[in-house]
A and B are shown apart, each in its own frame.
Chain A
Amino acid sequence: MSKKVLIVDDSIYMRSLVRSALEEAGYEIAGEAKDGESAIDLAMETQPDLITLDNILPDMMGFEVLKVLRDEGLESKVIMISAVGQQTVINKGKELGASDYIVKPFTSESLVEVVNKVFA
């Protein structure tokens, strides 16, 4: 059974980039969210196996979303997606239980590699 992935990013291009890359790698896309609030709703609704969580969202920061999800009891794996130079933010996510992170801009191959590693 393929893993369900929720994609959270405010950029439609990034979402489609991630979606195409993961679908090609055989993952099921549980949904896409372009802000924190919808991301939380969608995550609670779909209970995905993995969430790719962009750190900078229009309404809140990625690690804040992660905190809410963890408070809600969601145990999905999380890969933080971060722009260059946000190492401290990444560490905060890791503290909250993020499995790994990837730095933007990334290639499809490097994303798949990280996702596979998380599930390995």
Chain B
Amino acid sequence: MKILYDLPIRIKFAVVLIPLIVIIICFDYLQIRHNYLDYNDSERLNITLKLGVEINQAVHELQKERSIAIGYTSSEGIKFLEELKKQRSISDAALNKFYTELGKPETSEVTIRHNDELKLLQSKFESLKGIRGKIDKRSLQSSQILNYYSEINNIALNTVDLLINETRDKEIAQQVHALIYFLKAKEEASIERAIGTQALSSKEMNDELYSAFTSLVAKEQSYIDAFLVIADAESQGSYSREISGHDVEEVDRLRNIIHLRTTFDVEPSYWYDMTTSKINSLKKVEDQISERLLSRTVDLSSSAFRKFWSFVIVDIVIGAMAMWLMSIIVSNLLANVKTLEKFTLRISQGDWSSKVSIPTKDEIGQYAKTFNVMVDEINASHDILRKERDKAKFLYHNIYRVSMLVFKNIHQGIFLLDRNFKMSKLYSKAMEKIFGVNKIAGENFSNFMRPLIIPRDLEALEMFMRHLFNEDMDEDVVNQLNPIEQVKIFNEINGVVTTKYIRVNFTRIWGKNRIVNVMVTVSDETESVLLQKHLEEAEKQKKQETEQVLSILKIDPSVIRGFLYNSKKTLKSISERYESDKESDLKMLLDFTFQTIHSLKANAVVIGLEIMSEKFHSIEETIEKLKAKEVTGKDFLTVLYEIDDADKMIDDMNSMLRKVADVYRKYPSGGSVASNIMLVDSLERSVKVLSDKMDKPVDFFFKNEENLVLSGEQVEQCKDIMLQLIRNSIKHGIEDREVRLKQGKLLRGNINVELEHPKKNTLQIVYKDDGKGLDVSEIKDKAVKKGLITDYEAKKMTDKKAVNLIFENGFSTSDKVDEHAGRGQGMSLVKSLIEELKAKFKMDYEAGKYFKLVISLPFKDDAGKIEENEAIDS
């Protein structure tokens, strides 16, 4: 079934139509054959009938001849001689007619068909000569003659029966049978005539002859019965018309006389004439039947012939028309189907340009129309889609191009991670640069990182990524735990292991309701980290150097040079002692070292070289630790190590000192600059030391906006002046904390020193504190106490004069000499120093508010003004 369903349409048509055509052709063939056979049949029947008629004619004549011959024999040659001769020639003529008919060419088919029967018949007809001869010699009895002739006639009639008994037309067949019965009846009648003639001629009738006669008549009547039953109305009519009248009645009468066998006084010739008349009537009926049959067969054959041809013609015409219609419809259908097929094929190949054109209005035409509508619609939506696609393509290309551009040029490494931690195919070019590999796409990120980071970080990374893809976990919480947020990676490129600092950040990318990817950005922070470190180190280094420089600058170069020289020598002596006294008591050596270092530290403290005093202090501490336990040579090495370090520091400072000296040499006046800086520094230090000592917090401010520089001599003098003023301010001027709080002043006192250049060739040093100023009565009391003035003088003295008492020699506010606060020289020293500088001074104060002293120095413009920075840097 499936095979049938799958066949192409034209084969399906073939499958349907070919059997139909075959059936029609077969049917036509049968019809034509039937008609042809009918025609053939009737033709043949016609021929056989003609032949049969001739045979019947011959039989008819032979019947007569038989009767005459029997009469002749029965009358012992007296009667019927003439009649016999005459009849024989008639018989021969009939036989000749038969032979003529038989020789006709159209009869050949029949002669071939019924060869055996006709041969037998001919042989029988030929045997007639012998029989006739015997009759002439009168060597035959009547019954023998009867038998001979009857046999010939029987065979002849049988032959007729066989010849004409072959028709397919039932009606004709029936009439043929009727004719045959009739012929048989006639034969019996003829025999009856013969027997009757014989009986009447011999005037006797034996039993044998009688029964023969009876059965003959019975047979004859039976055949007539049969004939009448099956014969058609016309034959019956012929029969009843012809077989009637005087002669027939006479035959019946004479037959009854013979049958009664009582008297035979009837002239045999009368019987013969009557029966012959009846037989002739029978013959007439037979001829009429034969005639009708012949004409019927001729009709039949011609009608069969007509039927045959008309059928053939109609058949051909209808067949041709049917074929023509079929071929038109089928070829149209197939062509339409083919067109549709081509069209759909073209569409399937993507050619939407053309339409299908099927002009027919059947279903296929409708399909084609529908198809066209569909194709139009599809084309329309196709166009829309194409436009959308082009738009999308354009956008995509642009976006793609831009993102590729970004990916190529961005300095950050960017890629996506999928849920299996696989790195995306697309990643920024920077990735390769940062990691120094190009095997990135599709790699598992933790495998990728494995050789780069320490195992602990790797473990953390794997855990971290798992949490990153966990939708239940807050992204910020997870990102707080990013183990490679900033990580050092160890990267081997071409066998060289390099270290990099990278920052890796992770950002979730959400799909509908799950995390599809995580975007990873990687930045190489190596440079900035390294720079940071470098800067830190440099800063430290610079700080140390600055400290060294500053500490050197603060101190008098000759003093420091002496100290450094002395220290180096001392340290060397320790090493030497150790070298030479290896065997001696380490404890003693240690004690010696401690004492030596301690004295060096004391020296450093004295000259204010903190950096060295600190160093010596740390050596002291090291030794102190060793002292507590049993000392070994090895332990002592650490001490030596530190001593060596201190030695190096001394060398550094020496070279630094040389550099400073170079600066001095290059810029001769620059010495003053250094001294100026040292001045300020020592003043600052003094303030700090004094304020700590007196437990009065005091800040020192120095202001030199014009970068004015004091000359070398001035510096020394000024330093002493300032130191004296500072001592006085902190000791006497600036109040205790409690007092200051009470008076609403700032807790921290301050001392300001300012260099000014008010006019040409003059430099002013302005000293000012925010202490209590000058207490006139206190000064007066003290002056009285010291014996500088009397009570009376004191009472009379104006405030202005009184305050000047402080500059008097022997007026010292301090009761005892101490380390810091001068040695009782006070303001008188200040005054003498100012005078030494050929300077002037002006004092100012406000009780409880401030004390101010302005010193005006002669000053050479321009010469002293240099750029401070230059001096120090070079």
Contact = CB atoms under 8 A, between A and B. Distances in A.
B207 to A, nearest CB: 9
A108 B221 CA distance: 16
A13 B215 contact: yes
Interface string A6-45: 0000011110110010000000000000000000000000
10 shortest interchain CB distances as A-B pairs: A104-B222, A13-B217, A105-B222, A105-B219, A83-B225, A84-B226, A13-B218, A83-B226, A14-B218, A17-B218
A85 B223 contact: no
B221 A14 contact: yes
Contacts of A104: 218-219, 222, 225-226
Nearest to A81: B222
Given A86-B229, A105-B218, A108-B215, 4 more contacts: A83-B229, A84-B230, A85-B230, A104-B218
B225 to A, nearest CB: 4
Given A84-B181, A105-B219, A17 B225 contact: no
Contacts of B223: 105
Interface in B434-477: none
Contacts of B230: 84-85
A56 interface: yes
Contact of A13 (B177, B181, B214, B229): B214
A108 B215 CA distance: 9
A17 B226 contact: no
16 contacts: A11-B221, A13-B218, A14-B222, A17-B214, A56-B229, A83-B225, A83-B226, A84-B177, A85-B174, A85-B226, A86-B229, A104-B226, A105-B218, A105-B222, A107-B215, A108-B215
A53 B214 CA distance: 18
A86 B218 CA distance: 18
Given A83-B225, A84-B226, A20 B219 contact: no
Nearest to B222: A104
Interface string B202-233: 00000000010011111101110110011000
A16 B181 contact: no
A85 B176 CA distance: 13
A77 B756 CA distance: 190
A16 B226 contact: no
Interface string B523-557: 00000000000000000000000000000000000
Interface in B231-266: 256, 259
Given A20-B211, A20-B214, A85-B177, A13 B221 contact: yes
Given A13-B217, A16-B259, A20-B214, A83 B177 contact: no
Contacts of A86: 229
A85 B178 CA distance: 10
Contacts of B259: 12-13, 16
Nearest to A9: B218
Contact of A56 (B181, B211, B217, B225): B225
Nearest to A15: B218
Interface residues of A, number: 17
Given A84-B230, A85-B230, A16 B214 contact: yes
B195 to A, nearest CB: 12
Contacts of A84: 177, 181, 226, 229-230
A20 B219 CA distance: 15
B391 to A, nearest CB: 100
Contacts of B229: 56, 83-86
A11 B255 CA distance: 12
A107 B216 CA distance: 10
Interface string A77-107: 0000001111000000000000000001111
Count class of interface residues, chain B: 10 to 19
The CB with the most chain B CB atoms within 10 A, among A56, A85, A86, is that of A85
B178 to A, nearest CB: 9
Interface string B743-768: 00000000000000000000000000
B214 A83 contact: no
Contacts of B214: 13, 16-17, 20
Contacts of A11: 217-218, 221
A14 B216 CA distance: 9
Contacts of A83: 222, 225-226, 229
The CB with the most chain A CB atoms within 10 A, among B214, B216, B219, B256, is that of B214
A91 to B, nearest CB: 15
A106 B223 CA distance: 10
Contacts of A105: 218-219, 222-223
Contacts of A106: 222
A105 B226 CA distance: 9
A88 B443 CA distance: 110
A104 B660 CA distance: 182
Contacts of B225: 56, 83, 104
A17 B181 contact: no
Contacts of B216: 13
Contacts of A108: 215
A106 to B, nearest CB: 8
A14 B259 CA distance: 12
A90 B524 CA distance: 131
Contacts of B174: 85
A12 B260 CA distance: 11
A16 to B, nearest CB: 5
A108 B208 CA distance: 13
A36 B739 CA distance: 193
Contacts of A17: 211, 214-215, 218
Contacts of A85: 174, 177, 226, 229-230
Contacts of B218: 11, 13-14, 16-17, 104-105
B241 to A, nearest CB: 21
Nearest to A84: B226
A107 B218 CA distance: 10
The CB with the most chain A CB atoms within 10 A, among B177, B215, B219, is that of B215
The CB with the most chain B CB atoms within 10 A, among A14, A86, A105, is that of A105
A17 B214 CA distance: 6
Contacts of B211: 17, 20
Contacts of A107: 215
Interface string B164-179: 0000000000100100
A117 B319 CA distance: 62
B147 to A, nearest CB: 16
B549 to A, nearest CB: 164
Contacts of A16: 214, 218, 259
A38 to B, nearest CB: 19
Nearest to B224: A83
A85 B226 CA distance: 7
Contacts of B221: 11, 13-14
A106 B215 CA distance: 9
A106 B256 CA distance: 21
A14 B215 CA distance: 7
A105 B191 CA distance: 15
Contacts of A14: 218, 221-222
B206 to A, nearest CB: 14
A98 B233 CA distance: 31
A83 B223 CA distance: 7
A23 to B, nearest CB: 11
B537 to A, nearest CB: 147
A32 to B, nearest CB: 13
A56 B221 CA distance: 12
Nearest to B180: A84
Contacts of B256: 12
A85 B219 CA distance: 15
